[in-house]
Amino acid sequence: MEVFFYGILSATIQYPMKIIIEYTAGVNTYQMLTNDGDFERECDGNDELRDQAKALINAGDFEEREEIAKDMLNDGYYTKEDSYLEPEGTLDLVYPDDDLPGTRERIEIANNDFEDYDELYAEQIESNDFCLIRNSYVKRAGYTLAIEIDEPFKVSNLFIEGSTLVYVNKGKEEEFEYTGDAGGWNEDMCYFRGSMGDQESSDSSESGESLYSIAHDKLEKIMAEEYAAYESEWERVNGEHDAEMMAAWKRGNIPDEGEDNWWDLKFVHNNYTVVDDDRIGWLERKKKTDTQEYKDLKDLEKRVARFEQEKQYISDKYRTLFWDASAKNPLQWDAAHHYKSCEDIEVIKSWNQSTKAAILDLQSRLDEVDARKDKAKSDWIKNKGYESLGQRYDLDADDSILFETDVWSHVDLHACIEKYMRSVGKGDIGFTGKDSDEYTDRIQEWDNEITEIDDEFEKEKEALLKSHKL
């Protein structure tokens, strides 16, 4: 069976036919201003803009910088503007044939070039004294296209190029008409200073590269062995995850277009798992449940449901493994971030293998503080009479189940408190239940105590970092 949108069998449609495609999604419009060559040309003869830039760089705190940055953007100064249509949106198909009900589904268009502003302007953020970005966001922007097709509609034929949406029909790109904004407009402004974000910046090297970036690169070299071990572990876990996801997909026997690995499939698999509930309902109302079309749609529905169960199970299984693998990245350790804050270029240049040993020792002591912190929190919940419980998805039960855990990051506070209250006969904890106030009080008590423990040990870590000489 040919695979196409919403599972409608091609035999039920007479081609060619006219359809209307409507797509609604968010649009991000980025405006960027940075002190590069384009900015210098903008400043030519504009003393006011030059004075604003100087004041921005020399501003004493973030609030002051933010006000200056807003004034500059509001005055219309920006050197680059880019718009991107979000790939996740709502797709409506309108058919002229009464026997073919219209369809509406949430989809993700795999063929897109969407970028967040921090990815799009990464080079400018890293290499300039300042980078101002304004994001004007429209939550619901409308696009429509009326075309005549000779084959079933395919989501894979949709392409997003910036804020332009096209459908490849008969080998030709058909561009959608922008119909306007349907609401949900908002705006935010971000200020970056070198690679330090909205933090205070350090002096820069003669090349313009920030000290933060130089320190990062130096650490990457001296921690090469540890970083390679992290990358190897990440690739191993990621490979095992992808293999399990692909095996689950194959077991589902859901029609696809021949993708043979999860990396290729994960961006488009939603195209194959959408079941046309409207069509199923229409066939049931017309008492056409004995047709092959109906049987095929119901069979696909069952197989998709089973795959979604396995997908949830695998995601839950690997969530912790991904976290553990990521935690082994030496460039993300607290000790590494401490060294990245160094403001002396000569000190950074002097770092060597003895520096590596110092970083490893510092991180070991920081990890020890974290271990004592987690134990203090575990001891507190046990002293309160709670079991140390986590939740995970169970494939056979198709539901979340409780499990005992000694790993603090796996502990679920709601699960611990709920089980305790049920054990003492106070399980009526719904929104209006007679035990709901006590449930809420216990959650608040938990939050307060854990926050106090966190604050106590974070102060210890801060003192340890402060006392460590770079």
pLDDT digits (tens, 9 = 90+) for 154-207: 898 999 999 999 999 988 899 999 988 766 677 777 766 643 334 333 333 333
Residue with tokens 């604003």: 52
Question: Three-state DSSP class for 165?
Answer: strand
Question: Three-state DSSP class for 86?
Answer: strand
Neighbours of 385 (CB within 10 A): 10
Per-residue pLDDT tens over the stretch 293-317 = 999 999 999 999 999 999 989 988 8
Contact of 377 with 453, CB cutoff 8 Å: yes
How many Å apart are CA 334 and CA 370, to the nearest integer? 11
In a domain, 359, yes or no: no
Q: Is 285 found in the same domain as 152?
A: no
Q: Is 387 found in the same domain as 249?
A: no
Paired with 169 in beta bridges are 172
Q: Is 195 found in the same domain as 93?
A: yes
Q: Is 119 found in the same domain as 21?
A: yes
DSSP 202: P
Domain stop point among 201, 231, 248? 201
What is the predicted pLDDT for the residue at 210?
A: 67
Q: Is 264 found in the same domain as 227?
A: yes
Q: Per DSSP, which regions of 170-239 are E strands?
A: 172-175, 177-181, 185-192
How many Å apart are CA 53 and CA 191, to the nearest integer? 13
Q: Per DSSP, which regions of 73-229 are E strands?
A: 80-94, 103-108, 131-149, 158-161, 164-169, 172-175, 177-181, 185-192
Q: Is 124 found in the same domain as 55?
A: yes
| Tens digit of pLDDT at every position of the chain (470 positions) | 233 444 443 445 677 888 889 999 999 999 888 877 777 776 777 778 888 888 877 766 667 777 888 888 877 788 788 999 999 998 988 876 655 667 888 888 999 999 888 888 888 887 777 888 888 888 889 999 999 888 888 898 999 999 999 999 988 899 999 988 766 677 777 766 643 334 333 333 333 456 877 888 899 999 999 999 999 998 999 899 999 999 999 999 999 988 899 988 887 888 888 888 888 999 999 999 999 999 999 999 999 999 999 998 998 888 888 888 888 999 889 999 899 888 888 999 999 999 999 999 999 999 999 999 999 999 999 999 999 998 888 888 888 889 899 888 889 888 899 999 999 999 898 878 899 999 999 999 998 999 899 999 999 999 999 999 87
What is the predicted pLDDT for the residue at 34?
A: 84
Domain ranges, residue 6: 1-201
Domain stop point among 161, 185, 201? 201
Q: Is 195 found in the same domain as 245?
A: no
Number of domains forming the structure of the chain: 3
Q: Is 372 found in the same domain as 347?
A: no
Report CA Rg, the chain: 28
In a domain, 2, yes or no: yes
Q: Is 226 found in the same domain as 344?
A: yes
In a domain, 357, yes or no: no
In a domain, 224, yes or no: yes
Q: Is 120 found in the same domain as 5?
A: yes
Q: Is 96 found in the same domain as 18?
A: yes
DSSP result, 238-305: HHHHHHHHHHHHHHHT---S---SHHHHTTTHHHHS---HHHHHHHHHTT-TTSHHHHHHHHHHHHHH
Phi and psi of 364, rounded to 5°? Answer: -60, -45
In a domain, 360, yes or no: no
Question: Three-state DSSP class for 207?
Answer: coil
Phi and psi of 286, rounded to 5°? Answer: -85, 5
pTM of the prediction? 0.56
Q: Is 254 found in the same domain as 336?
A: yes
In a domain, 356, yes or no: no
Domain stop point among 163, 183, 201? 201
Q: Give the CB-side neighbour count of residue 9, counting CA atoms within 13 A.
A: 14
Question: Three-state DSSP class for 197?
Answer: coil
How many Å apart are CA 102 and CA 5, to the nearest integer? 12
Neighbours of 103 (CB within 10 A): 20
